[in-house]
Copies of this chain bind each other. A is one copy, B any other.
Amino acid sequence: MSFSITVLGSSAAVPTKKRWLSSQVLACEQSLFLIDCGEGAQYRMQQFDIKRHRIQHIFISHLHGDHFFGLVGLLNSLNLNQREVSMHIYAPEPLKNYLEHTFLLSETRLFYPLIFHDLQPIENQLIFENESMTVHSLPLIHSIPTFGFIFREKQKKRNIRHDFVETFHPDFDTIKNIKNGADFVTNDGKIIQNQLITTSSGQPHSYAYFADTQINLNYQPFLSNIDILYHEATFSDAETDLAEQRGHSTARQAATLAKAAHVKKLLLGHISSRFIDDESILEQEAQSIFPDSELVEDGRIYHTANLYSPLNKK
């Protein structure tokens, strides 16, 4: 699958045996993107057979320890494994100084370039783009500066129909133009419309990562056409006041945003260890508002393509 999310950790604040600290890997085409890096992320990558050397971009939502204490260990291990390729880090600005301090202290000299991109408190800022994807950041409401990340696959070029190729034997440049949407002109000057000789490559996929944050329905416009929203759901209805005091959300609140934004699926994450014996209340409260809500699971791979499969329709 070309667009998927593997959850490495989804516990709030302290790890449990079942849920480690916040970290995820998004795969898009051949690229891997790391989102947050709680302690132990590098162990989880080993456990789940994720090739960490393929990560070139790391997005850190905020500087609470449970979201970044695994970063120095990961960067250190990549260094010891002779990495030479640049690593880009998108994070709140103070992280840069922390990394420099830590590597100075541990006498670590990185042999690969570490390129730091400060996140700015600007809505829907484009922070990364390549040929197949964009990433936008968004300031969230939490107890310290925190950012959400929105990953959107670009619309892929159209596929050329085999019967057209077999009939007209177009050259390389013509194929390129048709994939980009051009019509075809036959040798005798007749125009064949693009739609007749191509098929759609399908809907581009998308993912939004919102942790940690208070509920805020003003995020809604930035979530248009999102396939999967990962939203923190640290608390249940019973702790609604506590959630607000601590800059967190309840599962129901996460579902309210998911419903308003018409996302296809809501993954509930950043689960408090207070639910260690029974987390089902969170899923129930969310599903009462938005049926396509689901408690995220460490180690599971979420494929956006499944949301478009006829088998998945309810």
Contacts and interface: CB of A to CB of B under 8 A. Distances in A.
Most buried by B among A17, A46, A106: A106
Q: How many copies does the complex hold?
A: 2
B15 A65 contact: no
Interface residues of A, number: 37
A15 B21 CA distance: 18
B14 A64 contact: no
Interface string A98-124: 100110011110000000000000000
Nearest to A13: B80
Nearest to A76: B65
Contacts of A76: 65-66, 69
A193 B181 CA distance: 105
Given A42-B39, A77-B14, A63 B106 contact: yes
A94 interface: yes
A14 B81 contact: yes
A103 to B, nearest CB: 8
Contact of A98 (B15, B16, B102): B102
A63 B77 CA distance: 15
Contacts of A80: 13-14
A43 interface: yes
Contact of A70 (B16, B39, B81, B108): B39
Nearest to A77: B14
A94 B101 CA distance: 11
B14 A65 contact: no
28 contacts: A13-B80, A14-B77, A15-B77, A16-B46, A17-B47, A39-B39, A39-B40, A39-B42, A39-B43, A39-B73, A40-B40, A40-B43, A43-B43, A63-B106, A64-B107, A65-B73, A65-B76, A65-B108, A66-B73, A68-B106, A69-B69, A69-B72, A69-B73, A98-B101, A98-B105, A101-B101, A102-B102, A107-B144
- 9 smallest beta-carbon distances between A and B, as pairs: A39-B73, A65-B106, A14-B77, A69-B73, A65-B76, A13-B80, A14-B80, A40-B40, A98-B105
Interface of A: 13-17, 20-21, 39-40, 42-43, 46-47, 63-66, 68-70, 72-73, 76-77, 80-81, 94-95, 98, 101-102, 105-108, 143-144
